[in-house]
Structure 1
Amino acid sequence: MEKEVKRIITILIGICILFVSLVIYISYFQIFKAESVKMNSYNKRLWIGEEKILRGSIMDRNGKILAYSEKRDGSYNRIYNYENLYSHIIGYNHREYGKAGLELEYNNALLNISESTTLNELKNIIVPNTEGNTLQLTIDHHIQEYSRNFLKGKKGSIVAINPTTGEIYSMVSMPDFNPSTLKEDWDNIVEDENSPLLNRAISGLYQPGSTFKVLTSIAAIEKGNVDEKYKCTGSTKIDGYNFKDYNEKGHGNIDLEDALVYSCNTYFAERGVEIGKEKLGEVAERFFINKKIPFDLQVDKSSFPYKGSAGKTDIAAASIGQGEVLMTPLNMAMVASGIANGGDVVKPILVKETISPKGRVIDSNKTQIISKGTEISIASKIKNMMVEGVKRGTSKNASIDSVEVAGKTGTAQNSSGKDHAWFIGFAPAEEPKIAIAVILEEEGSSGGQAAAPIARNIMLETLNTIN
């Protein structure tokens, strides 16, 4: 009898453990996993009711229709007006392959449906919803098209943004794809080693090269006790590793401004070690490195793992944008914007307004300062250095007649292939209207030669096009 009682108690304890485990798992799922499962592009529940709703249109800042839906043979079809041009921004809405881009992130808005609650479901039964909302983007169609033309046949990304408002004028990633022929092209798209589905603007992680030196410069000025004077001989050894300047040419006696203007690697490698990883990391995080960027699309985090066991060589490499530092083009555009905006980093905006079927604005993205990157006086110093970089340094190819441009080039070593070419900058320097980041993946030439001229043309066209 006693053995049977013990056996029963053991079984009851086991059942209780299983029950408690189930409760814990369900609670964990509801708190941490439910939202990601619900918003997964392959979740068929996202398609329930879509057949009865006219999906909302998407238009650019000037009202040009980029995507819309129409009824054919009793069902709604999604029409993308400009083939590949908005494949990474708008994405796609496909029964077989799911959703991506704004079609995924703004699915409920485009269908004009609320969160699935008993009250909302009852309301929808009484007054069925038949038409979705329209999204008005901050994108300028002409600038988007103009920017993409410079990336044809290349791999890379361009992000052009208003540094004061955060509104994005163009965001291009190449290679891209045509959402209108997704079914026909799918096998070729997924087998393409150049990853055309990858939105390089927000998910491409690259060593930023010398563009990162603007952040190292901010850290040096804020640190306050860093000797700005330096004699460059073209190379320097740090913990047994030899850091070299471009073509190993020495710059002679220089200061911080000259080091940034001529992009002196040895200066920033040595000064980076002197500044220390904690200060460099602190400045980097103010510009949203290691942080989630609030945006209308999901952005991969840029990274600078300074809190680990980084040695002097690691910090020296990071100070010149090499080693373990990885940045998205959007994040680099935010760095340029922050300097242009007097040290204030604003939230990047892609969707300007959500408009109801009756033409009423029901939601809008307002300009928001999300971080104090640095003090206005320091931002002004960095801006002036970047202006000199365009006037007499590595960024000369970004110069515009009668417009003062601020810029910084970057050439990032790539262990798997040719060097990446970078440029970040803004114009006009005194009253910035446009900030930009250009990355040419595996370009095999310097940022000054390849990326700066592209940035120049886009900045000029934007200044001439957008009021």
Structure 2
Amino acid sequence: MKEQKQKNKKGILARYGLIVTVLMLFAFMVIFSAAKIAFTTEGKRWREVGEKETVIRDRVILPKRGNIYTCDGKLLASTEPLYSIYMDFWADGIEKDTLLKYVGPLSAALAGKFPDRSAAQYKGLIMNGWNMREKEERQIRDNEAKGIDRKVSLRSRYVKILRKDISYVDLKEIRTYPFWNKRSNKSGLIAEERNARKKPFGNLATRTVGSVYKDLEKGGASGLELKYDSLLKGVPGVKFRQKIHGKWIDVVEKPAKEGWDIVTTIDATIQDITERSLRDKLIETEAESGTAIIMEVKSGEIKGIVNLDRMGGGSYAEGNPNAFSYMNEPGSTFKTVSAMVALDDGVVTPIDSFYVGTGLFQYNKRWVRDHYWRRGRDRGYLTVEEGLAVSSNIVMSKMILKGYENNPAKFVEGIDRIGLRKQLAWDVPLSGIEGTSSIRFPDDKSNYWSKTTLPWMSFGYETQVPPIYMLMFYNGIANGGKMIKPFIAKQFIEDGKVIENIEAEVVNQKMCKETTLEQIHRMLRGVVDEGTARVVASDYFNIAGKTGTAQIASGGRYSDYYVSFCGYFPAEQPLYTIFVGLRKPKGVPSGGGMAGMVFKNIAEQTYLRKVKLTVNDCDVDSALIKNPVLKNGNWDFNLALLDVLKLPAGDLSEAAGWVKMKQNNKVYEPQPLALKGSLIPDVHGMGARDAVYLLEKSGLRVHLSGSGKVVSQSFPPGQRLVKGTTITIILR
């Protein structure tokens, strides 16, 4: 027994020794392999393979693009994340049985949220992705079995499920859907983030704000977005993705630096007023395009800027930067420049007169015509002040010829003295000569100076001045002779801190003598009070400005018109300067009746919303407090309205259903409107409803244009009526 035990003990020790020896050999092999991997090139190769499978390096972190704001803090442009939705059918934990169980409910949920595909189409798309993965698996196995070292393209790793990118709110919702509510390694859901540019106010000042490329990494494409792209875009960061426990995690190496925010001078309320006023007139006149700009006199800040071009279907949208790129001959708005130069040089005084006759004047075999020349009326002599008021081309040309015929360079030097030939950089990127003032000089070899250039320049031809320059010039008059450059970008902000405040650049500290400025100011008042812009006069404040009506040069001849109005208000203590221009309007062109009425609408609405009044301004006798104006029309309706408003109504002298309304001593006096069945009724002063009713009741067909009250009808009242005839009425 003792020997047997001893023998068993030796056998156990031998087996134990063998096991220990094997374990030691295995440990040695592990240590050897580890050392080999750690210190040889083979180790480097395996580390690269391992890192490739678990780490994705040097991925760019796109910075958030800076916001663009109005001066009152409203967002004009901002960046928000959007997500492209894919499925990875090679995800580690995705199982076919689970997918088949939930693909129906998932597809139904997607179709309910994103109805551009049906539930059946979503199901087909997802199952096609899974079938693609199985096909790729079979291909891999076949290659391995045949010993073919060929990489199989795994197209099922990124199958796009949703056509459109979605917001973060939508992303959170779809992550609650069946199957997609699992971890990403089991659901295969991939949400690829990208930044997108949004404009919360839609098309408000959209041409000025500008646009970015669809690929936001390319940056700004136009407007402020392009001009200040280097500040807005920020600095990209760097990250890598690491796979830990089957889940990819982003690790930031270098954080992205957000772009600067820009605060503009744009006032959202004034911008909206300006856009609506211009759009309404463009629709009424069917013009090709138009621009309107309003700036603060003292600061140079542009509060509203609108550029509208006619699109298909007669609609209007922001297109070209017309405020800067209209390189037209300005026409009669330039006459103020000529008058300022001549008055400042002592060539004339406001009361000097020139013979205009019937409105025709020939110079070097070329005719200068005033707008009334076809009437044949001899107007005799007009003073310089009267000539500007009625926009006489003859007065302007004779005035400039008197002072500069023998020395035309002196006239252009006077324009230089004002500052209109100075080359300026604007907040909106432009190309070529856009945004510059192209004014001829007698010895300019590239721009021929003809024998008739001087008189034609005097009333705004043979020269190109974009709207922004005319705005700047008239604002200089309103600003006491100090010309400042209009601007849009007001502040640059980084991380909530103001980095830079922008102030207007002074173009000319003093445009002209003080006496000249006073004379020009008085003459511009006369244009509105007694001249071509009488329709622009306001009941609330005085306006000073000048109309412009210029033919457009095209193909070596003149055709169509460009009408404009530029001025400031209130005339005594100017707060705002406005330029309005309409290109190729239909109808009789009128700087006052077309562009001037847009000016008036913008000015009055801006004044009533933005100007703060003192207690004295609100006195009951103030011009600001007025009883409403009643339109002509149905007496019963007007009487009912007066009763509701508790306003005094006079007695009707005779029974009548239709009346003309007059206001005497704050009492509304109705006057019977004579109607005869065989004659065309008088609908002047009526609203659209009453006018159309009365005309159609008479048997006429009605074509209506504009809004407000009737200002003209194509057949005069009292003319014999022919039933079925179409009559056109224009409302303003």
TM-score grouping bracket, smaller chain normalisation: 0.7 to 0.9
Deviations 1:382-415 (A, max 9, x none): 0110011111111112211141110100100124
Offset of residue 50 of structure 1: 8.9
For residue 92 of structure 1, what is the aligned residue in structure 2? 211
Q: Cα gap change, 1:146/1:131 in structure 2, threshold over 3 Å: closer, same or farther?
A: same
For residue 411 of structure 1, what is the aligned residue in structure 2? 549
Q: Is the contact made by 2:206 and 2:318 (CA closer than 8 Å) also made in structure 1?
A: no
Q: Cα gap change, 1:196/1:463 in structure 2, threshold over 3 Å: closer, same or farther?
A: closer
Decide which of 191, 199, 215 is 2:321's aligned counterpart: 199
Q: Is the contact made by 1:434 and 1:462 (CA closer than 8 Å) also made in structure 2?
A: no
1:425 aligns with 2:567: yes
For residue 290 of structure 1, what is the aligned residue in structure 2? 421
Decide which of 251, 262, 280 is 2:411's aligned counterpart: 280
Which sections of structure 2, spanning at least 5 residues, go unmatched?
A: 1-58, 84-192, 237-251, 612-732
Q: CA–CA distance in 2 between the matches of 1:429 and 1:312?
A: 38
Offset of residue 235 of structure 1: 1.2
Q: Secondary structure at the match of 2:521?
A: helix
For residue 364 of structure 1, what is the aligned residue in structure 2? 501
Q: Cα gap change, 1:325/1:397 in structure 2, threshold over 3 Å: closer, same or farther?
A: same
1:248-327 equivalences under 5 Å are: 248=373, 249-276=377-404, 277-298=408-429, 300-307=435-442, 308=444, 309-322=448-461, 324-327=462-465
Q: Which has the higher contact order (CA 8 A, sep 6+)?
A: 1
Q: CA–CA distance in 2 between the matches of 1:438 and 1:286?
A: 25
Count of equivalent residues: 394
1:439 aligns with 2:566: no
For residue 62 of structure 1, what is the aligned residue in structure 2? 72
Q: Secondary structure at the match of 1:337?
A: helix
Q: Secondary structure at the match of 2:428?
A: coil
Highest CA radius of gyration, 1 or 2? 2
Offset of residue 293 of structure 1: 2.0
Q: Cα gap change, 1:429/1:213 in structure 2, threshold over 3 Å: closer, same or farther?
A: same
Matched AA of 1:54: K
Q: CA–CA distance in 2 between the matches of 1:77 and 1:101?
A: 17
Q: Is the contact made by 1:202 and 1:329 (CA closer than 8 Å) also made in structure 2?
A: yes
List, as ranges, runs of 4+ consecutive aligned residues in structure 1 with deviation greater than 6 Å.
none
Q: Is the contact made by 2:308 and 2:319 (CA closer than 8 Å) also made in structure 1?
A: no
Matched AA of 1:79: K
1:235 aligns with 2:245: no
Q: CA–CA distance in 2 between the matches of 1:449 and 1:250?
A: 25
Q: Is the contact made by 1:407 and 1:426 (CA closer than 8 Å) also made in structure 2?
A: yes
Decide which of 585, 596, 606 is 1:452's aligned counterpart: 596
Q: Is the contact made by 2:308 and 2:317 (CA closer than 8 Å) also made in structure 1?
A: no
For residue 162 of structure 1, what is the aligned residue in structure 2? 296
Which moved further from structure 2: 247-256 or 167-176? Answer: 247-256
Matched AA of 1:386: L
Matched AA of 1:147: T
1:247 aligns with 2:372: yes
Deviations 1:404-456 (A, max 9, x none): 11010010012443211110100011211010111100125110111111101
Q: Is the contact made by 1:340 and 1:379 (CA closer than 8 Å) also made in structure 2?
A: no
Q: Cα gap change, 1:52/1:243 in structure 2, threshold over 3 Å: closer, same or farther?
A: same
Q: Is the contact made by 1:273 and 1:312 (CA closer than 8 Å) also made in structure 2?
A: no
Q: CA–CA distance in 2 between the matches of 1:263 and 1:298?
A: 35
Which sections of structure 1, spanning at least 5 residues, go unmatched?
A: 1-48, 115-124, 178-187
Q: CA–CA distance in 2 between the matches of 1:336 and 1:275?
A: 23
Offset of residue 144 of structure 1: 1.2
For residue 134 of structure 1, what is the aligned residue in structure 2? 261
Q: Cα gap change, 1:50/1:331 in structure 2, threshold over 3 Å: closer, same or farther?
A: farther
Q: Is the contact made by 2:266 and 2:488 (CA closer than 8 Å) also made in structure 1?
A: yes
Q: CA–CA distance in 2 between the matches of 1:286 and 1:354?
A: 33
Q: CA–CA distance in 2 between the matches of 1:195 and 1:270?
A: 42
Q: Is the contact made by 1:198 and 1:204 (CA closer than 8 Å) also made in structure 2?
A: no
Q: CA–CA distance in 1 between the matches of 2:397 and 2:591?
A: 19
Q: CA–CA distance in 1 between the matches of 2:383 and 2:478?
A: 22
Q: CA–CA distance in 1 between the matches of 2:317 and 2:494?
A: 36
For residue 219 of structure 1, what is the aligned residue in structure 2? 341
Deviations 1:178-229 (A, max 9, x none): xxxxxxxxxx9xxx9x996421111111111110000000111122133722
TM-score, structure 1 as length reference: 0.79
Q: Is the contact made by 2:540 and 2:604 (CA closer than 8 Å) also made in structure 1?
A: no
Q: Secondary structure at the match of 1:439?
A: strand
Offset of residue 460 of structure 1: 1.6
Decide which of 116, 141, 148 is 2:275's aligned counterpart: 148
TM-score, structure 2 as length reference: 0.51
For residue 463 of structure 1, what is the aligned residue in structure 2? 607
Which moved further from structure 2: 167-176 or 221-230? Answer: 221-230
Deviations 1:147-180 (A, max 9, x none): 1123334411111111211000111111189xxx
RMSD: 2.6
1:83 aligns with 2:83: no
Deviations 1:219-243 (A, max 9, x none): 1112213372212111111111111
For residue 225 of structure 2, what is the aligned residue in structure 1? 103
Which moved further from structure 2: 409-418 or 210-219? Answer: 409-418
Matched AA of 1:245: D
Q: CA–CA distance in 1 between the matches of 2:485 and 2:338?
A: 22
Which moved further from structure 2: 385-394 or 216-225? Answer: 216-225
Offset of residue 130 of structure 1: 3.0
Q: Is the contact made by 2:64 and 2:234 (CA closer than 8 Å) also made in structure 1?
A: no
Q: Cα gap change, 1:50/1:289 in structure 2, threshold over 3 Å: closer, same or farther?
A: farther
Q: CA–CA distance in 2 between the matches of 1:306 and 1:260?
A: 24
Q: Is the contact made by 2:389 and 2:524 (CA closer than 8 Å) also made in structure 1?
A: yes
Q: CA–CA distance in 2 between the matches of 1:374 and 1:113?
A: 48
Matched AA of 1:310: W
Deviations 1:23-56 (A, max 9, x none): xxxxxxxxxxxxxxxxxxxxxxxxxx99611111
Q: Cα gap change, 1:396/1:282 in structure 2, threshold over 3 Å: closer, same or farther?
A: same
Q: CA–CA distance in 2 between the matches of 1:176 and 1:95?
A: 25
